[in-house]
Structure 1
Amino acid sequence: MPAGRGNDFARAVGLPGEPARLAELLLHGEPKATDVIEVESAVHDRMPVLGSVYAGVDALANRHANHSRLLRGAASYYAGGLRAVMSWRPAGYRVTVDGTVHHRGGFTVVVANSGYYGSGRRIAPTAAVNDGLLDVVIIHQASRLMFFAVMNELRSGRHVHRRQVETLRGREVRIECDRDLPYGADGEVEATLPVTARVLPGALNLLS
């Protein structure tokens, strides 16, 4: 049942937010096999995650949003994002997808099971929760102006057509970095890289 601030996973799978419709779903919904991400790091030992794992400026923004006392919902993400981008310096990533290593410099690496994160942003437009794969989105290092343009395009998913945005797919993804950098998992940011995310196909029976 959706009970978060952004409810991005519920948005991705079409879960309603109204109590009456949720009650109807609990009574008459059919269970569907749904993929889950298993997260493993120095802090998280095989932790289940439904939506996405992300490491970079978005994790910093999420951390700022979580600590905000004045703003809530989308406003807290916008304010946290601005603060994170303005203080950002380039990060060197080592991203291993199913054993293949990719060295990249960038703003973030996102490993997505479902397409939305950050309160309605379509970070991975082609992600599906029942395909047994994880979508990897890498936003390469560029100007802050370009990054803000990409952020604006996340609403529609058009950002994936930019040359500064790279997409990959795989079943197991490990993210490492050349400095201490936080990663987030469905809105929670209390750990630092490295982190490994692997898909557990059909691990959750979801009423929908």
Structure 2
Amino acid sequence: MRQFTASVNPTAGGSTGVAALSGVAPLLREAGAELETEYSDSLAHARELARRAGARGRVVLAVGGDGIVGGIGGALSGTGALLGIVPAGRGNDFARALELPTEPAALAGTLLRGGPRQVDTIEVASAHGRTVVLGSVYAGVDALANRHANRARFLTGAASYYAGGLRAVAGWRPATYRVTVDGEELTHRGYTVVAANSAYYGSGRVIAPAARVDDGLLEVVMIRDVPRLLFFTLMNELKSGAHIHRPEVCVLRGREIRIEADREVFYGADGEVEAVLPVTARVLPGALAVVC
């Protein structure tokens, strides 16, 4: 029977993480599993707690949204430790990519009996430092939108992302990017460059429909400079992934992507990292085992 250590930040996202765990915890214990809970006060603290628990051979449960899941998953990348996910955030995009259930009984069943699946992670390197994340690295208007969403006081979930997106697009000036994919350089002028391990970002938006978390590659999605009205149409098409069929969208694949820009442009990663370009994203194939 598996032994679990749940990592919860009681202040991040209010009480949603605590509530989500409270629905699953009794079911795990009733089945005979051992479960301990550790509370963190920051993402760095959560990473350290996860490493310690993983080193003791415990299944580390990341309880929260993509930020906490990406942070803990990144900390466990390459260690051989097993990650479990209890989705409890605004987006839950990596959990969505893994098709994890959210209903407590179904999720508990997966955590108890699901097999480990080896998935890729992303090493992110910039002047900000080095870290490892799970879902995607994005540079441009979406990073600015996520920055606004993270600072929203009265909106939650998809509504905060939508409002953040409107605010970001309204003031956006297209940037000229230099994008290097596996050593091949190209120039791109537009709204964003996304290096995606997962198909989803921004609370269920299908930014890279062909992305797979275990194929050893990153999907590079670039949205060119277009009139704002057309850009809003493209944003709406992110619900289904239909945007990739438009000529204004370029999609490439690679193992290492370097993104630079002609002015100060923010990039983000899994909803948490906020820094300024340039940045390099490199896939780490099969570096993390996740209960699925």
TM superposition score normalised by structure 1: 0.97
1:148 partner amino acid:
F
User: Aligned partners of 1:189 and 1:57: how far apart in 2?
Assistant: 15
RMSD between aligned residues: 0.9
Instruction: Call closer, same or farther: CA 1:165–1:117 in 2, change over 3 Å.
Output: same
> Partner of 1:121 in structure 2?
205
Per-residue deviation at 1:206? 1.1
Q: Decide whether the 8 Å contact of 1:63 with 1:189 is kept in 2.
A: no
Per-residue deviation at 1:27? 1.1
1:25 partner amino acid:
T
Which of 49, 63, 88 in structure 2 is aligned with 1:3? Answer: 88
User: Aligned partners of 1:190 and 1:164: how far apart in 2?
Assistant: 26
2:132 partner amino acid:
P
Structure with greater proportional helix content: 2
1:204 aligns with 2:292: no
Q: Decide whether the 8 Å contact of 1:113 with 1:135 is kept in 2.
A: yes
Q: Decide whether the 8 Å contact of 1:59 with 1:189 is kept in 2.
A: no
2:281 partner amino acid:
A
User: Aligned partners of 1:163 and 1:85: how far apart in 2?
Assistant: 20
> Partner of 1:130 in structure 2?
214
Map 1:143-154 onto structure 2 (within 5 A).
143-154=227-238
> Partner of 1:18 in structure 2?
103
Which of 196, 206, 223 in structure 2 is aligned with 1:139? Answer: 223
Which of 63, 67, 70 in structure 1 is aligned with 2:147? Answer: 63
> Partner of 1:172 in structure 2?
256
User: Aligned partners of 1:184 and 1:18: how far apart in 2?
Assistant: 29
1:62-83 C-alpha deviation (Å, 9 max, x unpaired)? 0000000010110001111000
1:29 aligns with 2:127: no
Q: Decide whether the 8 Å contact of 1:114 with 1:128 is kept in 2.
A: yes
User: Aligned partners of 2:127 and 2:240: how far apart in 1?
Assistant: 35
2:237 partner amino acid:
E
Pick 1 or 2: higher relative contact order, CA cutoff 8 A, min separation 6. 1
1:116-152 C-alpha deviation (Å, 9 max, x unpaired)? 0010100000000111000000000010011001001
Which of 229, 242, 248 in structure 2 is aligned with 1:158? Answer: 242
Which of 101, 111, 118 in structure 1 is aligned with 2:185? Answer: 101
Per-residue deviation at 1:189? 4.3
Instruction: Call closer, same or farther: CA 1:189–1:64 in 2, change over 3 Å.
Output: farther
Structure 1 runs of 4+ with >3 Å offset: none
Q: Decide whether the 8 Å contact of 1:134 with 1:169 is kept in 2.
A: yes
1:161-183 C-alpha deviation (Å, 9 max, x unpaired)? 00000000000001000111110
Instruction: Call closer, same or farther: CA 1:125–1:165 in 2, change over 3 Å.
Output: same
Q: Decide whether the 8 Å contact of 1:57 with 1:108 is kept in 2.
A: yes
TM superposition score normalised by structure 2: 0.70
1:20 partner amino acid:
A
> Partner of 2:31 in structure 1?
none
SS at the partner of 1:125? Answer: coil
User: Aligned partners of 1:193 and 1:15: how far apart in 2?
Assistant: 33
User: Aligned partners of 1:73 and 1:39: how far apart in 2?
Assistant: 26
Per-residue deviation at 1:4? 2.5
User: Aligned partners of 2:137 and 2:183: how far apart in 1?
Assistant: 18
2:110 partner amino acid:
L
Q: Identify unmatched segments of 5+ residues in structure 2.
A: 1-84
SS at the partner of 1:175? Answer: strand
